[in-house]
Amino acid sequence: MIAWFAAAGAVGLWLLLLLALAVATGNPPVPKNEVWPGPATGALAEQSPAVVDLITGDWRLCDEAPSATLLDLAAKGAVGIEEIGPELSLVRLRRDPGDLTAYEKLVYDHVRSLAVDGVVATGALAEGSRNLSRWWKSFRKKVISEARAQGLSRPRWSRAHTVLLTAAAAVPAVAVGIAVTITDRKHDGGIGAAIATFALLIALMGKLNGERGTELGARTAAHWLGVREHLAATGRFSEAPAASVTIWGRHLAYAAALGLAPRAVTSLPVSTPADDRRAWSDYGGMWHVVNVRYPSRLLWGRAPLPTIGRGLAAGFFAGFWTWIGLLVASAFDVWPDALVQPGAYAVGLAVAGLPLGYAIADLGGRAAVRGQIVRLRQVQVGSKGNNRPKYVYWCAIDEGRSREAKAFGISEELWGRLSEGDRVTAQAGRRLGWISEIEIAERSRLRGTDTYDDTGEHRLNAPQNLGDPPSA
Amino acid sequence: MIPSILAVVIPVVLAIVVVSLYNRLVRGRNTVDNAWAQIDVQLKRRYDLIPNLVETVKGYASHERQTLEAVVAARSQAINAQGPADRAAAENMLSGALKSLFAVAESYPDLKASQNFAELQEELAATENRIAYSRQYYNDAVLTYNNAIQTVPANIVAGMTGFSPREYFQAPGEERGPVQVRF
């Protein structure tokens, strides 16, 4: 029992040490951890909008930062933003973007990967084959890297803190190990318990890690909060469209980073997941919207052969239960005896007729659908045995004739070979909406544009719990 | 009692439906007008660039008189064209004339090397691209509006209140798809 008290005491002391260090390493000014705005000013300092977003957001990067970076690129002339209509604006690449920071290049490369003839519609910025979560992490790392290089930001745990906490964690771990060894009759669980305790404490230490500000960072953040007050008082940024960067210049980019320009930020969905139902397609050479529908009808997105089986089964059961019902009805003289069987057959045929007719029609003649894949989605519809999730797979194709596309059902095997942006010719049933064959005429040009896959460029301790990617 | 309630409720419901449909049609018509204004802005921008281009080319290739005159004639025809269909046809002719001009420029290295010419060419290419997007935007707006005024029940309201179908911005016999002109 004494060993357990000693172990509990050791763990408690380690937790106290962790708490003390956590308080001591909070954001400046310690201990209030709150940066107050400086005097209102219109003087823009040298930090970029993304860094400003980080340091004025309690050292957490918000999802306005990539949009603000794009606005800054526009203000600096690397790209142009032009308004064509209330719901259509274009981002146009300029010839030479000049020297870009790592995260500016990331945003610029994303725009360039989407551009057709140097142009991409602003709404289409959410498109592309990138892994959004990885892209966001890469962006965040690069911004943090610059903020640290400017002395504005630091990780909570310095090397000394890490060494101290790690070494100190060994004490409670050993104490727990000894306590378990003494208590355990076989005396073989002590090492495992010590390792598990040590891992747990280190994980807790890691969880509390994150980006924190420096004294200089706090002073700079106070200045930028003063700029925010000035911009909030003088500019009407909340309704300013992204194209108004031509008038406002970098002020709009900073207003976006400081949360004052929601309309401009929303219209540049650089770090936003693509909408399932509103796709942007460049099929035909120009970006345009395609509204995608995923019909939830019983007889859409179904393979013909299983539909025949289901139709027959449904017809059989409907006919059988009708037969039972009519038998009972005839026993009470409510239904004529002679019509019991014909009635059951009629109901069975009526139930089975539609799926059978659709399936046979689709098996007899499939239509060729040529176009570009705009949406590939899997939707969970239940679970199979062993709690394995069951999915249905959808593939929407822009045929270039209409701004509406009805997604087709497709098998998992075919679905896995495709990617959005592929030019395809599919053989699909127009009644059941099922793709039975699909041929890729041209692979998506958006494949292989993972320039954000930075391995080694910015190796820094930026914990995963810092600045979550924007929610879907 | 019930007939008198129905006598009140039915006209009120009908009035709400008619007003709602009418407002939808007005919104559609305004969208079309706005989209047309966007095309107009871009076309005017192109008309303004052309005289500078012609002057620049004249300085290096003055004896390409025929090509230059064709561009000037196509420009004035485009300016005077009325209605979307005529205007689209005139604009297509102007785009063709500009293409010929840029083809001619290929034979004059000094002209090609001129920074003024390069800037004008880039600006015209960007304007062409904007015209193409404006045209797509306008034609989409017209499609939505025409569908609205020709389908039941909005067609009844449209007929009573004088909404008429709009023309697409396309030359006769031309596909309504995206048209890109590259210089």
Task: Indicate the domain borders of chain A.
Answer: 2-281, 294-300+365-442, 304-363
Q: Inter-chain contact B132–A286, Cβ cutoff 8 Å?
A: yes
Number of H helices, E strands in chain A: 14, 13
Could you tell me if A279 and A396 are in contact, meaning their C-beta atoms sit under 8 angstroms apart? yes
- A404–B contact, CB cutoff 8 A: no
pLDDT digits (tens, 9 = 90+) for A206-243: 888 888 888 899 999 999 999 999 999 987 899 999 99
Half-sphere exposure of B20 (CA within 13 A, CB side): 7
A residues 168-197 lying closer than 8 A (beta carbon) to B: none
Work out the burial of residue A456: count CB atoms within 10 Å of its CB; fewer than 13 is exposed, 13-18 middle, 19 or more buried: exposed
Contacts of A92 in chain B (CB under 8 A): 126, 129
Name every residue whose Cβ is closer than 8 Å to that of residue A395 and which is 6 or more positions away in sequence.
A373, A375, A376, A407, A408, A409, A410, A415, A418, A426, A435, A438
Q: B1 vs A100, which has greater pLDDT?
A: A100
Rounded-to-integer distance, Cα A102 and Cα A457, Å: 9
Q: ipTM of this model?
A: 0.82
Chain mean pLDDT for chain B: 88
- A403–B contact, CB cutoff 8 A: yes
A431 band by pLDDT with thresholds 50, 70 and 90? very high
- Which of B31, B133, B180 is nearest residue A84 as measured by Cβ atoms? B133
Question: Domain tally for chain B?
Answer: 1
Q: What pTM value is reported for the model?
A: 0.82
**pLDDT score for B183:** 55
A447 band by pLDDT with thresholds 50, 70 and 90? low
Of the candidates B85, B98, B87, which has an alpha carbon nearest to the alpha carbon of residue B44? B87
- CA distance to partner chain A, nearest, from residue B18 (Å): 26
Rounded-to-integer distance, Cα A223 and Cα A254, Å: 13
Query: C-alpha distances in angstroms, A387 versus A308, A382, A384, B29?
Result: 27, 9, 6, 54
Q: Once rounded to an integer, what is the mean pLDDT over residues A54-75?
A: 94
A457 band by pLDDT with thresholds 50, 70 and 90? very low
Q: Inter-chain contact B137–A84, Cβ cutoff 8 Å?
A: yes
Share of chain A above pLDDT 70, in %: 92
Share of chain B above pLDDT 90, in %: 54
With a cut of 70, say whether residue A333 has pLDDT above it.
yes
Rounded-to-integer distance, Cα B15 and Cα B36, Å: 31
pLDDT digits (tens, 9 = 90+) for A385-418: 677 888 999 999 999 988 999 999 999 999 999 9
Chain mean pLDDT for chain A: 88
Tokens of A200: 């747990």
User: Helices (DSSP H) in A189-293: which residue ranges?
Assistant: 190-208, 215-234, 245-248, 250-257, 262-266
Rounded-to-integer distance, Cα A179 and Cα A7, Å: 7
Beta strand A404-406 pairing with A278-281: unpaired
Q: Inter-chain contact B180–A286, Cβ cutoff 8 Å?
A: yes
- A84–B contact, CB cutoff 8 A: yes
* Topology classification of domain A294-300+365-442: OB fold (Dihydrolipoamide Acetyltransferase, E2P) (2.40.50)
User: Which amino acid is it at B51?
Assistant: P
Which H or E run includes A288?
strand A288-293
**Residue of B33, B121, B129 to mutate, interface with A, max A Cβ within 10 Å:** B129
Greatest pairwise CA separation for chain A in angstroms: 95
CATH code (residue B61): 1.20.1440.20
Q: Once rounded to an integer, what is the mean pLDDT over residues B44-63?
A: 88
Rounded-to-integer distance, Cα B27 and Cα B99, Å: 38
Burial B36-53 (b: 16+ CB within 10 A, else e): bebbeebbeebeebbeeb
Q: Report the SS3 class of residue A281.
A: strand
B111 within domain boundaries: yes
B55 within domain boundaries: yes
pLDDT digits (tens, 9 = 90+) for B130-179: 999 999 999 999 999 999 999 998 999 999 999 999 999 987 766 555 55
Supply angle C-alpha A238, A241, A246, rounded to 5. Answer: 115
Contacts of A118 in chain B (CB under 8 A): 129
Where are the extended beta strands (E) located within A294-433? 367-383, 389-398, 404-406, 408-410, 423-428
- CA distance to partner chain B, nearest, from residue A288 (Å): 8
B125 within domain boundaries: yes
B70 within domain boundaries: yes
Tokens of A324: 């039972």
- CA distance to partner chain B, nearest, from residue A50 (Å): 29
Q: Once rounded to an integer, what is the mean pLDDT over residues A134-145?
A: 92
B29 within domain boundaries: yes
With a cut of 90, say whether residue A49 has pLDDT above it.
yes
Q: Once rounded to an integer, what is the mean pLDDT over residues A284-301?
A: 91
Q: Is the dihedral of CA B114, B117, B122, B123 positive or negative?
A: positive
Beta strand A408-410 pairing with A389-398: antiparallel
**pLDDT score for A185:** 73
Of the candidates B152, B129, B105, which has an alpha carbon nearest to the alpha carbon of residue A121? B129
B residues 17-56 lying closer than 8 A (beta carbon) to A: 31, 34-35, 38
Q: Once rounded to an integer, what is the mean pLDDT over residues A199-207?
A: 91
Rounded-to-integer distance, Cα A283 and Cα A400, Å: 7
Q: What is the DSSP string of A362-387?
A: HHH--EEEEEEEEEEEEEEEEE-GGG
- Which of A84, A117, A288 is nearest residue B38 as measured by Cβ atoms? A84
Q: Inter-chain contact A284–B177, Cβ cutoff 8 Å?
A: yes
Residue of B nearest to A399 (CA): B177
User: Helices (DSSP H) in A377-455: which residue ranges?
Assistant: 412-416
Q: Inter-chain contact A288–B140, Cβ cutoff 8 Å?
A: yes
Rounded-to-integer distance, Cα B176 and Cα B136, Å: 8
Rounded-to-integer distance, Cα A265 and Cα A71, Å: 9
User: Which amino acid is it at B72?
Assistant: V
A30 band by pLDDT with thresholds 50, 70 and 90? low
Question: By residue range, what is the domain housing residue B80?
Answer: 2-161
